[in-house]
Structure 1
Amino acid sequence: MTEPPQQTAAFEGLTTLRVTEGADRVHVQLHRPAVRNAIDAVMVAELHQVCAELERHPRVLILSGTESGGKGVFASGADIAELRERRRDDALAGINSGLFARIAALPLPVIAALDGFAQGGGAELAYAADFRLGTPRLKIGQPEAGLGIMAAAGATWRLKELVGEPLAKDMLLAGRILSGEEALAVRLVTELHHPARLLPAAHALADRITAQDPLALRLTKAAFRAPREAHPLIDNLAQGILFESEAKSERMQAFLDRRENPRGP
C-alpha cells in the first residue's frame, strides 16, 4: 500500500516522530537520527500523544525507525544522558514501562518494523508490539546490566514469554544480542526482509489485518491479553457482542453467497 502523506491536528508539532496517516493505519517513524533514535522524555510524551489519538480513533499502528549513517536504526535504547540523571522516583514513575504498556494495550494491532539497532528500551518497545518484522541487519537485545541498571520496561517478563526463559536470561543477564536471523529462528520476529522491503512488508501485514472486522479484532486482542482466570467468561461475553453485530451477519452472508456462486456475478 502507498500512503498519501497526511497529518491531522492530533499530530501537529511533533519533533521526534514523523507520522503518516491513512484511513485504517498510522505509520510512526521514530526520528532522532543524530542519537540513533534514543528514546528521550520528548519522544515518550509524543508517543503518548499518538496513543491518545489511537485510543480515540482506533487504527493499526506501524512503528519504524530511520537510516542513520547508512545503517538502519529502530531505537538504540533510552537516552543515556537523561537516564544517567534519573533517580528512584523516576524509576517508580514507570516512565518507559507505562508508555509501552499503553502501546501494548492499544485497541488494534501494533506492528514493529525493526531494522538495525533495537536495543535496551528500543527492544522493549518492540516487545510491546503485536507483530515484529525485521531485516538481516537487525541487532536486538538488552545491554542494561552492563550500564549498571536493569531492563525495567517489560523485558523481564515479556521477553520470557516471547522466547522462553533460557534465552531471555542469556539476553538479560549475559548481554546476548540477537541478529536478525537468530531473532527469526526463535520467532522473536516472524519475517525477515531486505531493508528496502521492510515497510512494504509491514503495510502488507496491515492490509491483511485491516481486511478483518474491526470490532472482532478489538475484542480478540482484548481477550488474548486477559489473564488465564478470565477465560472462558471473557471469550463468551466478547462472542456474544459479536453475534449481535451487523458485520457478523453481513460477512457471513457474503461468505455463503461466495460459496454458492464461486465464480461471482
Structure 2
Amino acid sequence: MNAPASVRHLAPPEVPARFRHLLRSEWIKLRSLRSTPYVLGPGGLVVTGICVNAARSNADRLDRGPRPGPGPDPGAAADADSGLPAFAFDALGTAFVDPAWQLLMVLAACLGAAALSGEYATGLARTTFAAVPDRRSVVAAKAVVVTAVLLVFGACVALTSFAATQALLRDHGGLSLSDPGAARAVVASALLAPVCGLVGMAAGALVRHAAGAAVTVIGVLLLLPALFQGDTYRWVRETGHLLPLDAWATLVHDPALPVTEKYPATAAEAWTVLGAWGVLGLAVAMAAVHHRDV
C-alpha cells in the first residue's frame, strides 16, 4: 500500500514593491527621525521670529524718526528735530532677512542629509536595499517625500514671515502679495527649502555620517558664497551667482529698489540656478547610492 503523497504548501508569490509602497515607507522613516519635528516646529518658529523681530525694530525706528525720503542715498540724510538719520527701508527684505533664511537653508539641508545618512548609520540601508534592490527607486521615493515635506515647510514659513512682517509695517510701506516682486520672493523662499534638502541628500549619500554631512552642507551653502563676493573681478561675482544663496537673494530683491551690484544676475538666471541645484543634488544622491556598497 502506497503512503499518501505529502502536500506541499507553496508560498504565495512575492509581490514586488511598488513606488507608492516606497513613498509610504519613506514617509514613515522621515516622520520617525528625531530631527524632523525640530526642523518643522521650533526651527520654523525661529526663522519667522528673526524676521518679525527685524520688522518690529524697523517699525519702531520709523515711528521715532522721519520716513525714508527720496533720493539716491536717503541714509545720508538726517532729521534736525529728532537727530535720527533717515534710512533707506526695504519692506520686502525685512520679511526675508539673510541670517534667518540661511538658518532655514541649514535646517532643510541637514534634514535631507539625515534622511540618507541615518539609514547608513543604523544599518537600515542593508535591509532596505535587500528588500528593494533597485536603489535608485528608493532614493527617488526618498527625494519625493523630502521635497514635498520641505516644500510645505518652506511655503508655511515664507507666507507666515511675509504676512507677519508686512502687518507690522502696514503704516510704513508694508506690501501685499500683489505688489511687484512680493509673490516672486515668497515662491523663491518656499522653494529654497526643498532645494537645500536635495543638496543635503547628496551630502548624506557621499559622506554617510550626520556630522560630516552637516559640515559639508554648511560649507557648500553658506561658506562657499563668501568666497565669491565683491565686484573687483567679474568672473568671481558671476561664479557666486551660480550658488543657491545668491540666486535666492536675487529673487527676493525688491524690484522697486535700485540694484547696487556691478554685475547683477537676472531673475531668469536665478530661477535656473535654483532648479539646477535641486536636480544636481538628486543626481549625485542617486549615483552615490547606486555605485557605492552599503
TM-score using structure 2 length: 0.25
Structure with greater strand percent: 1
Kindly name which structure, 1 or 2, has the bigger radius of gyration based on alpha carbons.
2
Per chain length, whose mean CA-contact separation is higher, i.e. which structure has more relative contact order (CA < 8 Å, sep 6+)? 2
